[in-house]
A and B are shown apart, each in its own frame.
Chain A
Amino acid sequence: MEALHPRIRLLWIAQAALAAIVAGVALAVVDVRVASLPIAVPIGVVAIGAVLGIVYAVVLYRQWRFELQDDALYLERGVITFVETAVPFVRVQHVDTQFGPVERVLGLSSVVVYTAGSRNADVRVPGLTPDRARKLQNTLRELAVDSEADDGV
């Protein structure tokens, strides 16, 4: 089983921090416009949000595992709900590599595997180095082609 790149934690922490700051700013606006709040409220919200975000990121990183098995891409992840998914190679429609602005700064990339399913139709493996992402994309593509694309649709 393969783990994600440790730097992915920074990405998740940054996302959580951003959400906490947005909530803090919203509360500050409420404080000025609607009703005065004790200064501890926005600060507390940001602090709690940031701590929860860090804990979440660390735990999620520890939970995330993926593996290429004989017939399927297998993934495990989730903090609140732990999900183990098998994506059979035959069902792979196409494979993307993607990275957002923050991921680019951190030197990370994601692989997204698309199936014809309704739920879990796109499966994302985040936190890969660009090299690893490209390699995984190529491997998946070859495996999908080898298994004689039969998408069951």
Chain B
Amino acid sequence: MASSETNRLHPFSAVMATIQRGVVGLSMPFFLIGMLSGLTDAVDPVWSVYLAPIGLVVGVAYGLAYYYRFEYELTRDTFDLSSGVFSRRSREIPFGRIQNVDVRQGVVQQLLGVAVVTVETAGGGETEAQLNVVSEDEANRLRREIRRLTAAAAAERSAEEATNEHGRAGGDETADLEADATGSEAIDRELETGGEPTRLFELSARELLLYSFTSFSFAAVGGVLFLLFFANDAAFGILLSLAEPLGGPATLDSASPLEYGVFGLVSLFNGLAVTYLLSVVYAFLGYYGFQVGRAGDDLVYERGLLQRYSGSIPLEKVQSLTVSDNPLQRRIGYAGLWIETAGYGPDSSGGSQSAIPLARKRRVYGFAERLSGLERPSFRRPTTVARRRYLGRYSIVAGVVVAGAFGFSLVTALENWWLAAVVFLVVPPAAHLRWANLGYYVGDRNLVIRSGFWKRRTTVVPYYRLQTVSTRRSVFQRRLGLASLVVDTASSRTFFWATPTIYDLEYEVARELRETTRERLQSALRERAESSNSDDGGGGVSVAFT
């Protein structure tokens, strides 16, 4: 059965902890004494020389103590973790509550054969358990064991429920037998496959390159800003030398307005090019060797070149699926698929994990359909009144731009401010594209919501996963008789990833849809209760792959 001995981290973490804490211990006296000697003459700066070795010893001892006091254990039903030298913390995470398990390896960690394991549950602003670091074998064992024990716990739970049901009917013994059968069946199935996942998708070299070149990651913007901030002299030097042959200034201090203009324009272009290249490299490194497979009732994935990521997501914990594509990818008929859970992923993208970074659209939708039991959606669009609304909204934005140009012309030598009015030309196509990319589909088991032009997201929300359903009407929407429908699911989405919303429906339609989704949630709950009694797991996300 479950291994019940307690475990420590890999000895390498002891080395790291001692070095880290030792350095802190060594430098602390210099810092404190330096500050105090500045305040009062009673403190002599020389003291720090005597105190530093003591600090080092205390730091090293603390690091070692931390290592020896950090223990984890897999019990029958929980993953236990206790840590802390002076203030102790013990944590028990029931297997049924685990959202996903992720394994991360940097370059050095790969060379040393160690990895960071994180265990996520729903809610909370941080990772619930982090093992930094364990050996690769141990990481794999943990992942396999957690999966096996989770399956066993689930089987036992449903068996218990069945026992209770039958108990009332007076058929105790048969139920027990049944329960045993289902419990061991799940484990047998697991042993049969030997923990080896069946591969569902592998990113080909062509798809990887297409993904790197057609997607844009915001991390690249951060990288460029970081470069500008910490190496601004060098960066400006390079930008100047790049702009000079095109009519830019020789130095930043003395230049004509025209030269500044040329410099600004050329640098903007260069900045965009560098950001794009960084984004390409980032995507390439992050998704190199991507593959996703299925092991038991979990999806398991693997990706990354320098930093290796791998992990498992229980299918039972999938909250919603999102197909995302940008205009470039749509043009070549490709799209990506993302899975949202209520835990936090290894990226900064909240609980969103990639299931397929990029593949042919047909393949992506096929995968999504098998995963969610979705039939082929036929999208409906909000009324054309919505398009009129966007026309008005974007006209206001364009008006603000023109007013800004006018204001700018008052304080500078800029003439012809009215040329800024060309932005009005963009307004009608922008309004149309925004409207044209909106859509929704009320399926049998899922609600499908689509919106966005630059990054179009088509989100599949199983009715079973709904938390709250709202209609929202702003003053402007009320004037036009429109409403937005917001369907909330349990997910830890970030700033960039908004709650699924169907924008600007006619109010009557929105209200009907709200009532429909409420009813479908109730019937999905009933269906699920029945199917768990008959013990075949059903629910929001089906596990019936082909």
Contacts and interface: CB of A to CB of B under 8 A. Distances in A.
Interface stretch (B321-329, B386-394, B486-494): B486-494
Interface string B475-489: 100100000001011
A126 B521 CA distance: 27
A119 B525 CA distance: 22
Contact of B488 (A83, A90, A120): A120
B474 interface: yes
Nearest to A84: B471
A81 B489 contact: no
B492 A85 contact: no
A146 B249 CA distance: 75
Contact of A116 (B123, B472, B475): B123
B367 interface: no
B472 to A, nearest CB: 5
B467 interface: yes
A153 interface: yes
A117 B492 CA distance: 8
Contacts of B465: 152
Nearest to A115: B467
Interface in B507-531: 511, 514, 518, 521-522, 525, 528-529
Given A81-B474, A116-B122, A152-B540, A86 B492 contact: no
B466 interface: yes
A80 B511 CA distance: 19
Given A152-B466, A153-B490, A119 B475 contact: no
Contacts, number: 92
B342 A116 contact: yes
Given A90-B525, A152-B465, A117 B475 contact: no
Interface string A66-109: 00000110000010111111111011000000000000000000
B469 interface: yes
Contacts of B470: 83-86, 120
Contacts of A117: 467-468, 488-490
> How big is the B interface, by class?
35 or more
A91 B467 CA distance: 6
Nearest to A82: B473
B464 interface: yes
A123 interface: yes
Interface in A33-82: 71-72, 78, 80-82
A82 B511 CA distance: 13
B499 A118 contact: yes
A59 to B, nearest CB: 12
A148 interface: yes
A123 B492 CA distance: 17
B488 A121 contact: yes
B473 A88 contact: no
A142 interface: no
Contacts of A86: 468-470, 514, 518
Contacts of A152: 319, 464-467, 489-490, 540
A115 B488 contact: yes
A89 to B, nearest CB: 10
Interface string A125-153: 00000000000000000000000101111
A55 to B, nearest CB: 14
Contacts of A87: 468
A71 B518 contact: yes
Contacts of A71: 518, 522
Given A88-B521, A118-B492, A153-B490, A148 B468 contact: no
Contacts of A115: 467-468, 488, 490
Contacts of B464: 152
Given A88-B518, A153-B122, A116 B469 contact: no
Contacts of B473: 81-83
7 contacts: A71-B518, A80-B474, A81-B474, A82-B478, A91-B467, A118-B492, A121-B467
Given A119-B486, A120-B470, 19 more contacts: A80-B475, A82-B473, A82-B474, A84-B470, A86-B469, A86-B470, A86-B514, A86-B518, A88-B518, A90-B521, A90-B525, A116-B342, A118-B488, A118-B489, A118-B490, A119-B499, A152-B465, A153-B122, A153-B490
Interface of B: 99, 122-123, 317, 319, 342, 464-475, 478, 486, 488-493, 499, 511, 514, 518, 521-522, 525, 528-529, 540
7 residue pairs, one from A and one from B, having the closest CB atoms: A117-B467, A117-B488, A116-B490, A85-B470, A153-B122, A119-B499, A81-B474
